[in-house]
């Protein structure tokens, strides 16, 4: 398969998760924030687990964060992806964590604690998903 034929699969979108994925396709990184107590949450859910409020806002995030963990995935291999896949957990500066990919970085340069910034990678069906690349300039919030 050539690179041009590889296509990242579209996210599985549910009624509860659409708020995140629909924004990503528009190039926005968002999280739910409780309209009552103000606590951010991810993954999305209908109720605030801290105060039980059903009132929710969707807020744009700065898109900067820190690598909490990473892993290079070698096997098994799915035709939609390049291997090794650079998998990561990124702690966003606002305090929520995402599973994602690291891009534009060599394997030997990946570190826990490295600063990263969001960009958006194309996926099937015209969707996009948030991924991260090194960002030495951003300050830890």
Partner 1 sequence: MARGSLVRNAASIAGVGCTEFSKHAGRTELQLACESITAALADCGLAPADVDGIVSYTVDPVEETELIRSVGFQEITWSSRVPYGGGGSMGVLLHAASAIASGAADVVVAYRAIRARSGATRFGGAKTSPSPTSGHSGTTAIQWCMPYGILTPASWMALNSVRYMHTFGVTSADIGRGVVQMRDYAATNPAAWFYQRPITLDDHQNSRWIVEPCIHLLDCCQETDGSVALVITSRERARDLPQVPVNIGAASAAGLFEQEIASDHYRGDLSIMEGSVALGRRLFDDTGFSRVDVDVAMIYDAFSPILLMQIEALGFCDFGEAKGFVADGHLRLDGSLPTNTNGGLIGEGYIHGLNLVLEATRQLRGTAVNQVTDARTALVTASRTGAILTVD
Footprint on residues 83-112 left by partner 1 (CB under 8 A) = 84-85, 87-89, 97-101, 112
The yes or no reply on residue 75 touching partner 1 (CB under 8 A) is yes
For partner 1, the closer of residues 104 and 137 by Cβ is 104
For partner 1, the closer of residues 111 and 137 by Cβ is 111
Instruction: Identify any residues that bridge with 92 across adjacent strands, giving them in sequence order.
Output: 65
The yes or no reply on residue 74 touching partner 1 (CB under 8 A) is yes
- Candidates 27, 35, 54, 78; binder of partner 1 (CB under 8 A) is 78
DSSP SS3 for 116: strand
For partner 1, the closer of residues 79 and 140 by Cβ is 79
Distances (CA, A) of 11 to 45, 91, 100: 17, 20, 12
Helix (H) / strand (E) element for 21: namely: helix 18-25
Q: Judging by DSSP bridges, how do beta strands 64-73 and 115-122 pair with one another? A: antiparallel
For partner 1, the closer of residues 5 and 137 by Cβ is 5
For partner 1, the closer of residues 12 and 137 by Cβ is 12
Do 47 and 55 contact (CB within 8 A), yes or no?
no
Q: What is the CA radius of gyration of the chain?
A: 16
Closest CA relative to residue 130, chosen from 65, 71, 63: 63
Tokens of 112: 């826990």
The yes or no reply on residue 31 touching partner 1 (CB under 8 A) is no
Do 114 and 65 contact (CB within 8 A), yes or no?
no
- Candidates 64, 70, 105, 118; binder of partner 1 (CB under 8 A) is 70
- Which chain residues interact with partner 1 by CB under 8 A? 8-12, 14, 17, 42-43, 49, 68-78, 80-81, 84-85, 87-89, 97-101, 112, 123, 129, 131
């Amino acid at each position: 398969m050539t690179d041009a034929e590889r296509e990242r699969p579209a996210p599985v979108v549910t009624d509860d998760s659409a708020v995140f994925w629909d924004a990503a396709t528009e190039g926005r990184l968002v999280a739910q924030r409780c309209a009552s107590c103000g606590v951010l949450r991810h993954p999305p859910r209908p109720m605030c687990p801290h105060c039980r409020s059903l009132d929710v806002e969707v807020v744009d995030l700065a898109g900067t964060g820190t690598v909490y963990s990473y892993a290079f995935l070698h096997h098994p291999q799915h035709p939609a992806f390049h291997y090794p896949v650079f998998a990561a957990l990124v702690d966003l500066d606002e305090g929520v964590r995402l599973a994602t990919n690291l891009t534009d970085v060599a394997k030997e340069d990946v570190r826990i604690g490295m600063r990263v910034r969001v960009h958006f990678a194309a996926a099937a069906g015209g969707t996009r998903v948030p991924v991260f690349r090194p960002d030495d300039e951003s300050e830890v919030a």
